[in-house]
Structure 1
């Protein structure tokens, strides 16, 4: 089964380099390594000259918001054009475990699960030491994210809870990719496009299959919780999602923004809006 690994990058060159090393050290090499450069002309030099050989696809950024959905679709299109039968998507921060590609391949060959979104575990790594991470120690540094299933190695666990889908590490056969229809390109910037993809899979009657023994390790980088740097992206993308599916995603973040006075839900329209809830005259009476 011809396998393509697809990742998106805009900066994060050190993280991408370590991901590249992880792929080279795996038990199975990808047939293609497609790196989508979102307005990052230096990225080609980062991945050149090492195995597996990387194909760089340029993705324009027209208004300052990273087009993550478009970039994934461009990466998939390039891989499929060159004969990929299995698409493995990895976040640029994610380093594949040694067996990740082999386990995804085995799951894709299983007749019961091949028409699924195949999802491996993701473990968030602590900050690296002065010499960085070592591939042989990643398993010891972090446990899989507690908010997602973590089947034992060799186990496949089917789920109909599409709200649990995330795009950090997943795989689909070419057939499944066409059945779901790719990512909705109305989303730009951070948040919501992978939740939307899970709903597209649900409508297409494509389940999730959690794949044991296919770990990815998310390299540390500073984050804010809630992600206030992406406030406007999240509000805009949440509005898009609500229009498409009739319910609000990312509610923990939206409510955390509201607690900080950064956003509020208009009681008249039900929409989330930038800024604190306005005071009404009777509030101070």
Structure 2
């Protein structure tokens, strides 16, 4: 049995996660009617993969690299059915989540699942297998993560963790969420003006709340493997500051004060950003974990509008070079 639901996911390099996602969807009862896959990079051997259980529609682009917001919008806009499900390609979903979300959409404009983080080594397990494992070693409940740094209890935390910030509730919402195409069109989609890392989820769900949409959380767990970008790595500091300024100009307040205050305490941005506007004071040294007590590479104070568009550079050294700093 199928329900008139379009599942949308986007893929760049994690094709093994895509294969796992298709296998999971094929085990759902009832099934979705369609899976829309948006390829963010040139086609691969899997770009024509099919399923005997539901239609798989592949969407391609004519540019070398498709930004996340644009890829999401393409998939959700071009999906066939009015009931839409967006899900991360690495999500491990419950067999009944399609029916639960579809039914809940009758009483809410946006519906999302709970999210729990598991060790990356368990990414290829089924939902039932992860749930059984959780009984012995509970996974991290991301819905309660806004007050603490997240590490899965199924993995050993890195004692030299170099990330500032935690999950936001909106990051949790965006892992797997249901919305009608009509309401998605009312939002205008994900804001494609954000570049690089950070705040696109917060922007989208802030927009949903501003429109008065009710947001309902299903009592169903989705599991996701831990990965570095779950929080806000220091190597994305410049992207995050630029996107923060865009968010502030749009909505009139600063998002994710937990992250901004952590950056300020470490000396990377100004502490009085609420009064004076947000400025980068120094960039992290990528050779070792930073603390507030360690010396950083100073820069002249830059507003987010003055920062270069660095995309997804992973090296603090590369960023420093762009800012004219010697390393």
* Contact 2:93 2:127 survives alignment (8 Å): no
8 Å contact kept, 1:86–1:173: yes
- Does structure 1 conserve the Cα–Cα contact (< 8 Å) formed by 2:143 and 2:169? no
Paired position in structure 2 for 1:193: 200
Structure 2 matches for 1:2-21, cutoff 5 A?
Answer: 2-21=4-23
Aligned residue number for residue 217 of structure 1: 223
TM-score, structure 2 normalization: 0.69
Cα distance, 1:53–1:95 mapped onto 2, change above 3 Å? farther
Give 5+ residue unaligned stretches, structure 2.
147-167, 284-297, 301-327
Mark the CA change 1:170 to 1:148 in structure 2 (over 3 Å): closer, same or farther: farther
Using a 3 Å threshold, how does the CA distance of structure 1 residues 238 and 61 change in structure 2: closer, same or farther? farther
Could you list the per-position Cα deviations for residues 88-113 of structure 1 after superposition, in whole angstroms to 9, with x for gaps in the alignment? 010122122111111011112x3xx2
C-alpha separation between the residues in 2 aligned to 1:199 and 1:127? 30
Q: What SS is found at the alignment partner of 1:211?
A: strand
Match of 2:119 among 105, 118, 126: 126
Q: Find the aligned partners of 2:43 and 2:271 in 1 and give their Cα distance.
A: 40
- Rounded to whole Å, the distance in 1 between the matches of 2:193 and 2:50 is 35
* Distance of 2:276 and 2:112 partners within structure 1: 36
Deviation (angstroms), 1:41 = 2.2
Alignment gaps of 5+ in structure 1: 150-162, 280-285
Alignment partner, residue 237 of structure 1 = 243
Relative contact order higher in (CA < 8 Å, ≥ 6 apart): 1
Equivalenced residues, count? 255
Q: Structure 1: how far apart are the matches of 2:41 and 2:257?
A: 30
Q: Give the root-mean-square deviation of aligned CA atoms.
A: 2.9
What's the offset of the Cα at 1:119? 1.2
- Is the Cα contact below 8 Å between 2:15 and 2:46 reproduced in 1? no
Please tell me whether residue 164 in structure 1 is matched to residue 169 in structure 2.
yes
Instruction: Select the residue among 105, 117, 139 that pairs with 2:131.
Output: 139
**1:246–1:61: structure 2 CA closer, same or farther, 3 Å change rule?**
farther
Which among 243, 264, 269 is matched to residue 263 of structure 1? 269
